[in-house]
């Protein structure tokens, strides 16, 4: 029994994180994968899987944190026909067991060339790092300063026991020789610019003169190329480590032919289901203020909750004073609980179960508590969270209220039409809401979302009919 559960929870979380890192370490020193880390796949735990898709990570005291990524766990591709010494390394050889150091040396010219003064300088760094690892015997004569990365870090290769360590700046990453060289080479990733960019170091066998990385992010795909010197290619990618690690890699020979190409990565398991209103709308994440609580709650009868859901007053937010001077509030409604539905007379229960929302819904409410449901998180993300209403008796104006996801700063409304019903106007977004008043009832207009720099995020066509 804990008098301070907050502290107890922190201890449990730290313990869980430690176990995860230790498990990763055990994976490093355990039996070798039969083929390029293939045994790492199919593990039940997303945590362990995420950990083990990484290459071997060797945390070293007092050095910066480094990330490793899933190249070693990628399924091996079939060797290209007519490939050279690298492409010709058959899967059978890779499965035969750990490759000896001699094999590695035979495949990496950088380890065969004479050690220079420049190589000996980083040797001190490598030794300082390796001293923290018990049972390590480094081949000092094989340590090489292989490259100076574009982001300023020295890249040092150090064969140690049955691993080739890639030392990038102050971090050490490595992989078993067999999975590394005979399948997908060695790779080290260094988070740059606070994790928004990634430095990628690829170690490739002799014969590979250029590498290409095909990166996919947010529906955009592009290719970055880097030449190979001393068996190492370095490239700075403007993406986070996860995206960099998922890049497809192609090795090229000097004549431009392909040595190897990684197959497309398997789809990543989704961490959490779909978008949530909370993740889409910053207005709901900000602290609730006194102004937010000035909303008069809609006068719902208890039975109504079984049909429309249960209002969440803690989520009420004053989002905008509209173009026509009214306060616009947003509030979430939870799907009704079983208890609420069961409290209905039996004749109404089936209808309530049919009609009630199954996900949290967003409502737009006015100061007086009148409101309308605008949809779910998906509705907002799809650009369909638009409310249209008349201006009231004797008022010919029409009012548009749109809820938009984070990042949209201006909404453009455009409705073609004769008889004075056409219009085109832009409305600024405040707290995820844009409002506009027009003088004629439009069909649902075409909508354009803009970023702060004026570029278009999305165009949503007008509804017809």
Partner 1 sequence: MEGLPDPRTDGELLVATVADPHAFAIFYRRHVRGVLSFFRRRVESPELAFDLTAETFAAALEAAPRYEPRPEPARGWLYGIAWNKLHEARQRGQADDAVRRHLGMAPIALSDEGIARIEALAGGRVLQLLDGLPAEQREAVRARVLDERSYEEIAAELRCSPSVVRQRVSRGMRAIRSRLKEAEL
| Interface ranges with partner 1 (CB under 8 A) | 1-6, 8-10, 12-21, 45-47, 50-51, 54, 57, 59, 65-67, 191, 194-196, 240-243, 268, 271-273, 276-279, 282, 285, 287-291, 293, 312, 314, 334-335, 337-338, 359-360, 406-407
CB of 57 to partner 1, least distance (A): 6
CB of 163 to partner 1, least distance (A): 17
Q: Which residue lies nearer to partner 1 by CB, 298 or 335? A: 335
Please name which of 261, 232, 267 lies closest in space to residue 248, comparing C-alpha atoms: 261
Contact 424, 434 (CB under 8 A): no
CB of 115 to partner 1, least distance (A): 30
CB of 330 to partner 1, least distance (A): 15
Question: Alpha-carbon dihedral of residues 282, 288, 294, 295, nearest 10 degrees?
Answer: 50
Is 106 in a helix, a strand, or coil?
helix
CB of 14 to partner 1, least distance (A): 5
CA–CA distance, 413 with 320 (Å, rounded to integer): 18
Q: Which residue lies nearer to partner 1 by CB, 139 or 217? A: 217
CB of 1 to partner 1, least distance (A): 4
Contact 276, 380 (CB under 8 A): no
CB of 252 to partner 1, least distance (A): 29
Q: Which residue lies nearer to partner 1 by CB, 270 or 419? A: 270
Q: Which residue lies nearer to partner 1 by CB, 189 or 226? A: 189
CA–CA distance, 304 with 349 (Å, rounded to integer): 12
Cα angle: 157, vertex 162, 163; to 5 degrees: 35
Please identify which residue in the block is written with the tokens 């700046």. Answer: 169
Half-sphere exposure of 325 (CA within 13 A, CB side): 1
CB of 75 to partner 1, least distance (A): 20
Q: Which residue lies nearer to partner 1 by CB, 220 or 347? A: 220
Neighbours of 16 (CB within 10 A): 10
Q: Which residue lies nearer to partner 1 by CB, 13 or 350? A: 13
CA–CA distance, 23 with 9 (Å, rounded to integer): 21
Q: Which residue lies nearer to partner 1 by CB, 8 or 221? A: 8
Q: Which residue lies nearer to partner 1 by CB, 21 or 456? A: 21
CB of 194 to partner 1, least distance (A): 6
Q: Which residue lies nearer to partner 1 by CB, 150 or 274? A: 274
Strand-by-strand arrangement of the 197-203 sheet: 186-192, 197-203, 232-237
CB of 242 to partner 1, least distance (A): 5
Please name which of 208, 214, 268, 269 lies closest in space to residue 244, comparing C-alpha atoms: 214
Cα angle: 54, vertex 72, 149; to 5 degrees: 75
Contacts of 253 (CB under 8 A, 6+ apart): 84, 207, 208, 209, 259
Contacts of 447 (CB under 8 A, 6+ apart): 383, 386, 402, 411, 412, 413, 414, 459, 460, 462
Q: Which residue lies nearer to partner 1 by CB, 117 or 271? A: 271
CB of 325 to partner 1, least distance (A): 17
CA–CA distance, 20 with 59 (Å, rounded to integer): 13
Q: Which residue lies nearer to partner 1 by CB, 210 or 242? A: 242
Surface-to-core class of residue 314, CB atoms within 10 Å of its CB (0-12 exposed, 13-18 middle, 19+ buried): exposed
């Amino acid at each position: 029994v804990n008098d301070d559960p907050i502290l107890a929870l922190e201890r449990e979380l730290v313990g869980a994180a430690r176990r995860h890192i230790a498990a990763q370490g055990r994976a490093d020193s355990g039996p070798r994968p039969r083929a390029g880390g293939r045994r790492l796949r199919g593990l039940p735990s997303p945590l362990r899987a995420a950990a083990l898709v990484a290459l071997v990570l060797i945390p070293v005291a007092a050095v910066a944190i480094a990330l490793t990524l899933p190249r070693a766990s990628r399924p091996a591709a079939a060797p290209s026909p007519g490939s050279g010494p690298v492409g010709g390394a058959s899967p059978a050889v890779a499965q035969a067991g750990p490759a000896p150091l001699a094999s590695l040396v035979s495949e990496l010219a950088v380890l065969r060339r004479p050690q220079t003064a420049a190589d000996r300088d980083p040797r001190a760094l490598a030794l300082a790092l390796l001293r923290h690892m018990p049972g390590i015997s480094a081949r000092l004569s094989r340590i090489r300063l292989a490259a100076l990365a574009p982001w300023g870090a020295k890249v040092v290769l150090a064969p140690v026991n049955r691993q080739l360590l890639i030392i990038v700046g102050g971090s050490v990453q490595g992989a078993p020789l067999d999975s590394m060289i005979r399948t997908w080479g060695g790779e080290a990733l260094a988070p740059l610019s606070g994790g928004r960019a990634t430095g990628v170091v690829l170690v490739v066998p002799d014969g590979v003169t250029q590498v290409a990385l095909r990166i996919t992010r947010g529906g955009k795909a592009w290719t970055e190329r880097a030449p190979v010197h001393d068996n190492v290619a370095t490239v700075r990618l403007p993406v986070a480590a996860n995206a960099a690690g998922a890049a497809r890699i192609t090795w090229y020979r000097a004549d431009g032919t392909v040595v190897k190409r990684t197959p497309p990565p398997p789809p990543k398991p989704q961490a959490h289901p779909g978008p949530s209103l909370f993740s889409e709308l910053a207005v709901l994440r900000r602290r609730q203020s006194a102004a937010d609580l000035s909303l008069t709650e809609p006068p719902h009868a208890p039975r109504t909750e079984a049909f429309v859901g249960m209002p969440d007053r803690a989520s009420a937010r004053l989002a905008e004073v509209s173009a026509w001077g009214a306060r616009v509030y947003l509030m979430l409604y939870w799907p009704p609980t079983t208890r609420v539905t069961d409290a209905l007379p039996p004749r109404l229960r089936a209808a309530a179960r049919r009609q009630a929302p199954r996900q949290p819904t967003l409502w737009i409410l006015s100061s007086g508590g009148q409101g309308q449901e605008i949809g779910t998180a998906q509705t907002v993300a799809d650009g369909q969270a638009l409310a249209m209403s008349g201006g009231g008796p004797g008022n010919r104006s029409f009012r548009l209220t749109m809820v938009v996801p984070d990042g949209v700063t201006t909404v453009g409304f455009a409705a073609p039409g004769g008889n004075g019903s056409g219009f085109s106007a832009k409305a600024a977004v405040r707290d995820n809401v844009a409002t506009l008043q027009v003088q004629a009832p439009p069909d649902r207009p075409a909508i354009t979302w803009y970023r702060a720099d004026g570029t278009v995020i999305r165009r949503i066509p007008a509804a017809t009919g």
